[in-house]
Chains A and B, each alone.
Chain A
Amino acid sequence: MLKRFILIRGIEGLMVLLLAAIPLMINNGFMLGLLTLLAIYGILLIGLDITVGYLGLINLAQAAFLGLGAYAAGLTVTHFGFGMLSALAVSALLGLVMGGLLAFPSLRLEGPQFALATLSFSALSATILNEWESLTQGAQGLQLVRPPLFGLVLDAKGFYWLCLCMLGLVWISMKNLLFSQWGRAFEALRDSPIATDAMGIGTYRHKVTAFALGSGLGGLAGGLYAFNFEYLQPSVFVYELMVILLLGVVMGGRKSLWGAFVGAILIVLLPNLLSNRLLFQIFSAIGFLSALGAGGLALYQKRTKPFQGVAPMIAMGLLVVGSLTVQNTEDWRKAIFALMLFSVVVGLPEGLMGFAATFLSKIFKIEPLPLATPSDLEQVLVKRDVDGGPLLQLQDLKCYFGGIKAVDGVSLTISSGTIHGLIGPNGSGKSTLVNVVSGLYSPTGGSILFQGKPLVRGSLFDVARQGISRTFQNLQLFSELSALDNVMVAMKGWYRSSLPLVLMGLAKKDEKRAEADALALLEMVGLADQARIPAKDLPYGAQRFLEIARAVARRPTFLILDEPAAGLAHPDVMALLGIIRRIHGRGITIILIEHHMDVVAGLCDMVTVLDGGKVIAEGLPDVIKRNPLVIEAYLGKGSGTASPEAVSLATPSPVPA
């Protein structure tokens, strides 16, 4: 604990002190210029990392936000005589607002479409800055003078310290944010946007917030950029700069403040590195040897694919050959950058810092923080009173996809406090039915009443907010997050500290409480001792249980379990029965979609059977088992005499689809 504190906080503090002290020790304008730029790019890249690292989206607009922020600062100073801080505030605010505006339409997109939307935004903003000559002076460029800070005229050194302070502030508040409910939600929605919506977190609003924050930092960096260079031209903030920024983040390491910082160092220092031939030769040789060593070892131990091991060797080898043969290395700058990046992206997908972090934590054996003591489950899940009245009523519900009638006029009532089974052969419309109820699909017709009121339609998020929670037939865990974090993400709606408080680091208490509560839930499903393990590394059965714990963390009135036993081994099925009973015991109404007849028979108070999108039978489990219609639906015509057990035989443990 202490070691961890000293190592992590200590290194950060040491770094700041060192950076702050350099200008006192060495009086060199060039060095100061580089350091100032380093601080500015540090802020910019931390902002970019929010979208690229945490949201996992390729964002090509950060250079544009840098430009907008720079012009905002420049124009407010030259036109309205703003002071330093107010101009910077305007820059950051403009980035924030423009980021939000861009985010609204484009964040529904994924992958290449999102990248393209941001690329167009960059091009558009460059065009506007260039064409709006009356305001920005267009291509002529805008000259400005660095305004005083509270009446104090800053020289180069003073301004550098200001930039460093800003970087420190950004660093601390981002750290607070990223290790809070917010940061966790950002990462969650990268892994599964559907599940974040279903957990009532609101994929869209989080994406917009994250993107706007990142853009706001871009704007702030822009303001500092303007005051550093005191001369702006629209042609600076274009695609080329953007590519370099993006590569800086990736090379430094995504999802890491240190990574962004290292990326900034690389961007700032690389051109100078190349101008010294010997230095460059040494550097490329080290690169080649490490690619050779690391790649060779990984290949030998068969930890990696041949391509991942060999490609960086070839790339770094090319670099060595180039450093020895090429006359003017500066001419090849872009190619050199490309080769280095290629090696890093292929060989060290986590970036330089990601690699260093794993390495360092191994050397120093940094232990994670100890877990909180689990809360009492009684308090986490306060027992609900149930009156046995109708909780969910479906009337003539229809859902068609083109000509396919997946759900065709289903009417169904689920009483509060029950476990209601929903069975039927493959393709009978069970999953579609719960997808409609939970808001993933919009119904084609019919009505849904929840607690006597019409339920919102077609929005996972809104339905989740009504107190309906669900699991998924195909697991939708946040695979990169730990088991604990998976559960804590779902608690977001419960523990609400406002964003400014979180940024200032005043939400730690909330955080601890959430952790204790989440542990109680993990304990309930028997995963308390695996809380720190990333979801993707858990065994299959544990992943199923984790998804249930996560759904329960919403403290729902009504829980949809979509084939929770699919693919489970027998002991796990037994454990599942226990878990479901325990949840039911807290007064939560459950709808259970299942193939396993024994699970249904053992748990359910009532069973509905679907076939071809229609209800073919409804009743107590034992009665349903003997219903000839049901047996026929499962086994086909002419099997009316089959024994009751035939139903469960007909559906041997289905493989998880």
Chain B
Amino acid sequence: MNQALMQMTVSGALMGLVYALVAYGFQLTYATSKSINFGQGELVMVSAFFSLTLTDLGLPYYLMIPGGLLFGVVAGLFVERAGVRLALEQKSEGWILMTIILGLFGFSAAENIWGRDDRPFPTPISSDPIQLFGISITPLEISVAVGVFMIMAVIELFKRKTLLGKAFEAVSADRDAAELMGISATRTIMLSYGLSGLVAALAGILISPITTVGPTMASALVLKAFSVAVVAGLESGFGVVIVGLFLGSLESLTSYYVGSGWREAPGLVLLILALAVRPTGIFGKGVIRKV
């Protein structure tokens, strides 16, 4: 029984890491613009389909990855231009609707271009399980974990070490002050959407071999990612990893011990509770209302 507990915790935690990665994409844009892409799930899915097409065209796996990521960046920039910028200029929350609409379009386009069926995503990484301390785990799952940590580390380093990254941090900290210092907030927001698209594309490429590629592949995923991002706090950086791991294992354990139909419930309750008690998230900062 104890072994089952371990197995469930580990396999849930791995899923949780993917939640965290998508949630991280939300954080990137929220930091600079206080907006997130409600169509992020569709972005994950469309990027995955695009990468699959690259593979079908005969591109080897490791060359396909940069191609897929580039597509994610472009798609992210498109979302910013078409769905977010106008609303931000008008200081309205119109971006919520606009990104939902863009997501809807992406969904329908994918359905018609790539078909409604789920399709397998080839990968050179093995999916034959290996035993680690009595727990079954596949190299594929390990690659997901490695990929998630790697991309987050790279982006955090970029933010801290490069000039562009520092501009990013400056706009996140205080947009008005940054603009007075000559940093273009618009460009930085574009950068953040590009990065967010990149993260989404990577998430798509990483999970596709496990979950297969289909128009609905990310709709459940993105709901969890929302929860993770909000519970952790939309501005909290690595908090998403902790919350992601926690939520993933919690779900997995719930479905094992309570019943698989209730799998989604703890995450949702957690989200509503977290919002009620700490609207800025567990790792978020409080805000002072100024008048």
Residue numbers of A with Cβ under 8 A of B are 56, 58, 104-106, 108-109, 111-113, 115-117, 119-121, 123-124, 127, 130-131, 194, 239, 243, 246-247, 250, 305, 307-308, 311, 331-339, 341-342, 345-346, 349, 401, 431, 435, 440, 472-474, 476
Contact = CB atoms under 8 A, between A and B. Distances in A.
A187 B290 CA distance: 21
12 contacts: A111-B34, A111-B93, A112-B35, A115-B96, A120-B223, A123-B268, A131-B259, A243-B100, A334-B108, A336-B108, A338-B101, A341-B104
Contacts of B262: 127, 131
A305 B85 CA distance: 12
A108 B279 contact: yes
A250 B97 contact: yes
A194 B291 contact: yes
Given A111-B96, A124-B268, A345-B97, 13 more contacts: A56-B93, A58-B93, A111-B34, A120-B271, A123-B268, A124-B265, A194-B289, A247-B100, A334-B107, A334-B108, A334-B111, A335-B109, A473-B291
A342 B98 contact: yes
Contact of B261 (A131, A239, A247, A472): A131
Interface in B44-75: none
B252 to A, nearest CB: 16
A51 to B, nearest CB: 13
Nearest to B85: A307
B200 interface: no
Contacts of B275: 105-106, 109, 113, 116-117
Contact of A119 (B223, B259, B261, B269): B223
Contacts of B94: 345, 349
Overall SS of chain A's interface: helix
B168 interface: no
B105 A476 contact: no
B227 interface: yes
Contacts of A331: 111-112
Contacts of A111: 34, 93, 96
Contact of B291 (A117, A247, A334, A440): A440
B61 to A, nearest CB: 31
B112 to A, nearest CB: 6
Nearest to B105: A338
Given A120-B268, A243-B100, A246-B100, A474 B276 contact: no
A84 to B, nearest CB: 33
A246 B261 contact: no
B222 to A, nearest CB: 10
B107 A112 contact: no
Interface in B14-63: 30, 34-36, 38
A436 B82 CA distance: 43
B279 A109 contact: yes
A120 B93 contact: no
A116 B105 contact: no
Of B101, B108, B111, chain A has the most CB atoms within 10 Å of the CB of B101
B272 interface: yes
Contacts of B230: 112-113, 116
B104 A337 contact: yes
A233 B88 CA distance: 39
Nearest to B34: A111
A116 B86 contact: no
Nearest to B30: A112
Nearest to B96: A58
Contacts of B271: 116-117, 120
A395 B274 CA distance: 37
B269 to A, nearest CB: 7
What 4 A-B pairs come out closest when comparing CB atoms? A105-B276, A335-B108, A334-B108, A338-B105
B112 A332 contact: yes
A338 B104 contact: yes
Contacts of B100: 243, 246-247
A320 to B, nearest CB: 16
Contact of A246 (B97, B111, B227): B97
Interface residues of B, number: 48
A113 B275 CA distance: 7
A305 B276 CA distance: 39
Contact of B105 (A109, A339, A474): A339
A553 B42 CA distance: 50
A300 to B, nearest CB: 20
A472 B291 contact: yes
A406 to B, nearest CB: 10
Contacts of A121: 268, 272
A106 B265 CA distance: 17
Nearest to B270: A120
Contacts of A113: 230, 275, 279
B290 to A, nearest CB: 8
A305 B88 CA distance: 13
B121 interface: no
A55 to B, nearest CB: 12
B169 interface: no
B226 interface: yes
A323 B6 CA distance: 55
Contacts of B112: 331-332, 335
Which of A113, A345, A472 is most buried by chain B, counting CB atoms within 10 A of its CB?
A113
A644 B85 CA distance: 51
Contacts of A123: 223, 264, 268
Given A56-B93, A120-B268, A130-B261, A345 B98 contact: yes
B102 interface: yes
B256 to A, nearest CB: 16
A333 B291 CA distance: 46
A42 B109 CA distance: 30
A160 to B, nearest CB: 31
Nearest to A308: B86
Interface in B78-99: 82, 85-86, 89, 93-94, 96-98
A307 B90 CA distance: 13
Interface string B130-165: 000000000000000000000000000000000000
B120 to A, nearest CB: 23
B180 interface: no
A401 B108 contact: no
B102 A338 contact: yes
Given A246-B97, A338-B101, A120 B227 contact: yes
Interface in B217-237: 219, 223, 226-227, 230, 234
A58 to B, nearest CB: 5
Interface string B248-291: 00000000000101101101110111011001000000001111
A124 B269 CA distance: 8
A165 to B, nearest CB: 32
Contacts of A337: 104
Contacts of B109: 335
Nearest to B273: A105
Contacts of A332: 108, 112
A116 B226 contact: yes
A202 B279 CA distance: 20
A312 to B, nearest CB: 11
A401 B288 CA distance: 9
A1 B280 CA distance: 50
Contacts of A311: 82
B232 to A, nearest CB: 12
Contacts of B86: 305, 307-308, 346
A130 B260 CA distance: 12
A126 B111 CA distance: 25
Contact of B101 (A56, A342, A349, A431): A342
A179 B214 CA distance: 48
A442 to B, nearest CB: 12
Contacts of A345: 94, 97-98, 101
A69 B8 CA distance: 37
Contacts of A473: 291
A539 B101 CA distance: 37
A89 B96 CA distance: 34
B260 to A, nearest CB: 10
